[in-house]
Amino acid sequence: MKVMERGQITIPKEYRDLYGIKAGSDLDILPVEEGLLLVKKNLGKSPFQEVFGILEKHIASDSVIEDLRGLKI
């Protein structure tokens, strides 16, 4: 890809679809040893947080995980 005059780049559709990057998505550019790393910011809830509300339990997620795994953390 080429960098445009104003510093803009186009992320290929294949990667936008794969990583859920849409118009208005927030991304970070981080310097790493190999160059620059493009990272999508997760501004919403995690998938677990989205589903957890469906359970209608008023207990901590760690307790639910312990119960499911049969473990104590």
Contact present, 41 and 33 (Cβ < 8 Å)? no
Residue 3: both structure tokens together? 């960098």
Of the two residues 17 and 44, the one the predictor is more confident about is 17
The structure's pTM equals 0.51
All domains of the chain, ordered by start, with CATH?
A: 1-41 (2.10.260.10), 42-73 (no CATH)
Percent of the chain with pLDDT over 90: 32
- Reduced to 3 states (helix: H, G, I; strand: E, B; else coil), residue 29 is strand
User: Would you call 32 exposed, middle or buried from its count of C-beta atoms within 10 A (0-12, 13-18, 19+)?
Assistant: exposed
Query: Confidence band (pLDDT; 50, 70, 90) for 52?
Result: low
Q: Is the pLDDT of residue 49 over 90?
A: no
d(CA 19, CA 41) in angstroms, rounded, equals 11
Tell me phi and psi for residue 30, to 5 degrees: -115, 135
Provide mean pLDDT across the span 30-43.
Answer: 86
Q: Is the pLDDT of residue 51 over 90?
A: no
Residue 29: both structure tokens together? 């550019």
